[in-house]
């Protein structure tokens, strides 16, 4: 019998996750400390991109391609209308195509392997942006720069290769660079033109939620 109250990670780990089989979100104590620390360093903002996106990223896992198959009790049970689920499956295919084969330093990304995390990242940044825009003196340049900074990492080629072959998250550079290209605000904020490398034509910008 599944113990729905036990955690899937230790409290000292800096991480958060969503679990469809218990319909719960867990933020470890250390993850909270990290988010609080960034918040204290950015007191002029009511929210920080990291805390805003982190929570919303986990919430949206409840209805990514895995979470969508579990009901509110955490049981494998279809609770979507057929037409909604079919439309969602189309969006999943678009998300796979968006990342599949995109080159990184160590090889091309595998769109299928990373689709659920990419759905959560897109949901995370979109919801964080909506929250940020509620701030009176919102600075969207700072917002997108903070977003990019979240994904900074330093790793050996071998480690990156290992991640590319088995990690369900997209390579960090793609997590930084691709989600913003689906948001109108990104184009307005930085005056992105068709000739710019991060430009994506409006009909190819993917919106899920």
- Could you list the residues that contact Zn ion (CB under 5 A)? 117, 120
Nearer to Zn ion, 140 or 206 (CB): 206
Judge whether 58 counts as a catalytic residue.
yes
Which residues 6+ apart lie within 8 Å of 64 measured at CB? 115, 116, 119, 120, 123
CB of 60 to Zn ion, least distance (A): 9
CB of 57 to Zn ion, least distance (A): 5
Nearer to Zn ion, 97 or 168 (CB): 168
What are the DSSP calls for 95-112, one per residue? Answer: HHHHHTT-EETTEE--TT
CA distance 196 to 193: 5
Q: Which residue is catalytic, options 50, 64, 117, 121? A: 121
CB of 145 to Zn ion, least distance (A): 22
CB of 117 to Zn ion, least distance (A): 5
Whether the Cβ atoms of residue 57 and residue 120 lie closer than 8 Å to each other: yes
Whether the Cβ atoms of residue 152 and residue 95 lie closer than 8 Å to each other: no
Nearer to Zn ion, 123 or 180 (CB): 123
Distances in Å between the alpha carbon of 208 and those of 44, 118, 122, 125, 126?
A: 31, 11, 8, 12, 9
Q: Which residue is catalytic, options 50, 58, 64, 117? A: 58
Nearer to Zn ion, 113 or 120 (CB): 120
CA distance 209 to 207: 6
Catalytic annotation, residues = 58, 121
């Amino acid at each position: 019998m599944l113990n729905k109250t036990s955690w899937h990670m230790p409290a000292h780990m800096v991480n958060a996750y969503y679990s469809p089989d218990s319909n719960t979100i867990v933020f470890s104590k250390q993850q909270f400390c990290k988010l609080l620390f960034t918040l204290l360093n950015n007191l002029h903002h009511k929210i920080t991109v990291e805390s805003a996106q982190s929570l919303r990223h986990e919430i949206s896992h409840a209805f990514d391609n895995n979470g969508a198959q579990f009901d509110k009790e955490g049981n494998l049970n279809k609770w979507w209308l057929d037409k909604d689920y079919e439309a969602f499956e189309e969006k999943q295919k678009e998300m796979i195509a968006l990342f599949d084969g995109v080159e990184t330093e160590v090889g091309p990304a595998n769109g299928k392997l990373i689709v659920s995390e990419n759905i959560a990242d897109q949901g995370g940044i979109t919801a964080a942006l909506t929250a940020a825009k509620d701030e009176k003196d919102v600075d969207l340049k700072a917002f997108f720069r903070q977003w990019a900074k979240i994904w900074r990492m330093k790793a050996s080629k071998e480690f990156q290769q290992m991640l590319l072959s088995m990690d369900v998250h997209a390579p960090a550079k793609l997590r930084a660079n691709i989600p913003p290209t689906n948001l109108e605000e990104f184009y307005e904020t930085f005056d992105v033109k068709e000739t710019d490398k991060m430009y994506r034509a409006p009909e190819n910008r993917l919106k899920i939620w």
